[in-house]
Amino acid sequence: MKKLSVAILGFGTVGQGVRDVLCNHQDRLKEIAGIPVEISTILIKHPEKHHTKAPHVRFTTDFQSVLDDPAIDVVFEAIVGKEPAYSYLRQCIIAGKHVITANKEMFQAHGQELKQLAAEYDVGIGFDATTAGGIPIIQTIQHLLQVNKINRVQAILNGTSNYILTDMRENGSTFDDALLKAQSLGYAESDPTNDIEGYDALYKLKILCELIFDEQPVWEHVKCVGISQISAKAIKQEAASGNRIKHIAEIALTEGAITANIAPKSVSAEHPLYAIEGVNNAIHMKTDIIGDLTLSGPGAGAFPTASAMVEDFCHIVNKHMKAEGKVTTIAYS
């Protein structure tokens, strides 16, 4: 095997970000893999939209041709929504391909099954980009869990909501004005429901919950409250007392039971999430040995998300492909 071939499924902002990061890091990736890493195929939906011609890259609308190509070792999935992403990844895993996804909506629903399937077929599965964008939260948690138990997580997982709340407080904007601003800046979708009603945070919280506790609470009993009902007046009142309203997603293990909560909360300056502003995300964890840890950074964006996916790729190369003897050994210490 003279090169490592990858495919990208979906070529929206995240898929294009993956393409760019892979192309811009050829030397580094070759150093890590020991052989060149090449984008072999990109699966697109609307061929008429993509006029970019890239030498050596095949653009196709035919998923079967990706699946049937034995030269493709790793598949990056950057499709929106559960289907066809889930079916595609399932088939890729069964075909022995390593997979990396940024698709939180799909992964919160099918993540556990895909992880089990990947273990069964002995392929790598990367999903760090599903939660908190560029913050390497999944790999950090996997790393910590080797020694620590995590008892509670409080997190800001939706950058759009946090941007809106920050703008309302700093500029005295109404909710509607702040939402319009978020949309004009590209932070919020034209249909912002998932962000402002808390569903996006809920998806990510489910992925964290599965990873940390290996089980889920009865989600039907968990009220998911977004930020759409927050008034400028409430924000102003809290600010006058030195507090900030933050949209906080929380899971905890208390007396053997998992509890979850997703709602806006007023936090004081002493709270670890108080200082997280704008489109940033943050995860605050209580662990049994280390104590409290907080990670914060950009929660979304094509490049942070693509970076997280390519970091997953490096991890899979190191952990799975080297063991398979498919790639040579490594410079990275």
- Known catalytic residues are 204
| Shortest Å distance, C-beta 329 to a copy of itself | 8
3-state secondary structure of 31: helix
Was 38 annotated as part of a binding site? no
Q: Is 205 in the site for a copy of itself (CB under 8 A)?
A: no
Site string for a copy of itself, 263-282 (x = CB under 8 A): ------x--x-xx-------
25 binds a copy of itself (CB under 8 A): yes
Cα–Cα separations (whole angstroms), residue 236 to 113, 163, 317: 45, 16, 50
Paired strand residues for 293: 285
At closest approach, how far in Å is the CB of 222 from a copy of itself? 26
Query: Least Å distance between CB 297 and a copy of itself?
Result: 4
- The residue with tokens 């809920």 is 202
The HSE-up count of residue 35 (CA atoms within 13 Å, CB side) is: 15
Among 66, 207, 253, 308, binds a copy of itself (CB under 8 A): 308
Question: Does residue 287 contact residue 148 with C-beta atoms inside 8 Å?
Answer: yes
242 marked ligand binding residue: no
Task: Compute the distance between CA of residue 316 and CA of residue 90 in angstroms, rounded to an integer.
Answer: 17
DSSP state at residue 58:
E
Member of 3, 115, 181, 265 binding a copy of itself (CB under 8 A) = 115
* 104 marked ligand binding residue: yes
Q: Which residues pair with 251 in a beta bridge?
A: 153, 260
Burial class of residue 6, CB neighbours in 10 A (0-12, 13-18, 19+): buried
User: What is the rounded CA–CA span in Å between residue 79 and residue 229?
Assistant: 31
Q: Which of 125, 156, 207, 251 binds a copy of itself (CB under 8 A)?
A: 125
In the complex, the residues that contact a copy of itself under the rule CB under 8 A are: 21, 25, 28, 32, 115, 118-119, 125, 133-136, 139-140, 142-144, 146-148, 269, 272, 274-275, 289-298, 301, 303-304, 306-308, 310-311, 314-315, 318-319, 322-323, 329, 332-333
